[in-house]
Amino acid sequence: MKNYFCRLKVRNKNFESYMKEKVELWKKENKDNQTIAINIVKETYEKYDDKKTMIIVSFIPPYYPHKYLREEDAKDKKFINSIDKTIEYAHEKFNEKIIKEDFFMGISDLSYTGIENNKNISGLSSNIVGYGISYDLPLEALSKLSIPAIVFGGEGKDFHKYSERLNVPYTLNVVPELYEHIIYSLLQ
């Protein structure tokens, strides 16, 4: 399908040049990355000659590759053990029950700690709508990193909403000590 679009002419320009101009226009209109990506998909379909029912599968920005710890990796295993010890410590010292989930479903900075070794970078980037035109993610640099990481922090409700509330005693008194416990556990 990509080759077809390279041959497609729009007002005497190739489709790629046409789309770059459209993206620049949408940026000047202060459209966000998600809206620009959706507009790219719509514009592509509008210019596509073969109008029939189809499903378009892609990653719409903001897209961050998932990252998780693997028991079979030695660095990850050490980190997992430190987390497990810290969960026990939280229960014993603070009577806090921390639940460990293997996968975080949200967007997180964790994606900037590396990309799984078996990821096909070109396949991934070619499926992110607007990649390199309206949205960038340092995939090549991330593929060189392999930093074990977790999402861990304060407790509250409605994060990133106007109604956000934070459990201040837990966040200011318990969390720092748990971070310290994780660090010392990793250094042993």
pLDDT of residue 7: 46
CB 160 within 8 A of CB 175: no
pLDDT tens digits for range 145-176: 888 888 888 788 887 788 988 889 999 999 99
Spatial distance between the Cα atoms of 47 and 34, rounded to a whole number of angstroms: 20
pLDDT at 118: 62
Residue pair 24/16 in contact (Cβ under 8 Å)? The answer is: no
Question: So what's the pLDDT on residue 46?
Answer: 85
Distance CA 94, CA 88 (A): 10
Question: What predicted TM-score, i.e. pTM, was given to this entire model?
Answer: 0.70
* Positions in the chain short of pLDDT 70: 1-13, 117-118
The per-residue pLDDT for 68 is 81
Burial call 149-181: b when 16+ CB within 10 Å, e when fewer: bbeeeeeeeeeeeeeeeeeeeeeeebbeebeeb
Altogether, the residues listed in the chain come to a count of 188
